[in-house]
Amino acid sequence: MTSFPLRRKLAVIPFLLLPLGALAACGGENSKTDCNVNSCTVTFDRGVDASASILGVKAELVKVQGQMVTLKVGGQTVTVPAGGDGEQAEGFDVSVQSVTKDQVVVRISANG
């Protein structure tokens, strides 16, 4: 029979590991992610289909025209200027940090 203190310790382990699992869940196709508890920075490759699963939603790079970037975040399409004020989509703040000929860097944060 397992002692009560050991059962309590074993019950706590999944809750301690939960934040690590949430961070490990970030990833995508033709993109790199750097996430913390409530935000992610996503570097999308240009010229290919690029997407990332972050913070429980899928983010996709749709189009880049000059410094205007069109993204689909959780099914909502939003166009955001690079370096400017962000926009909101699906309960997230979305801002474009930089646009180069090869990559687009986007920050997506849970608002509130």
Q: For the chain, how many structural domains are there in total? A: 1
pLDDT, residue 43, reads 97
Q: Does some domain include residue 70? A: yes
pLDDT, residue 50, reads 96
Q: Does some domain include residue 56? A: yes
Which comes out higher in pLDDT, residue 71 or 1? 71
pLDDT, residue 13, reads 46
Q: Does some domain include residue 15? A: no
0.85 exceeded by pTM: no
Q: What is the pLDDT of residues 16-28, one digit of tens each?
A: 444 444 444 567 8
Q: What is the pLDDT of residues 25-38, one digit of tens each?
A: 567 889 999 999 89
Give the E-state strand segments of the chain in sequence order.
Answer: 27-29, 31-35, 39-45, 50-54, 57-65, 68-73, 76-81, 87-89, 92-99, 103-110
Q: Does some domain include residue 52? A: yes
Q: Does some domain include residue 35? A: yes
Q: How much is the average pLDDT of 82-94?
A: 93
Host domain of residue 77: 27-110
Per-residue pLDDT for 100 more than 60?
yes
Q: Order of strands across the sheet with 27-29? A: 27-29, 50-54, 57-65, 68-73, 76-81
pLDDT, residue 21, reads 41
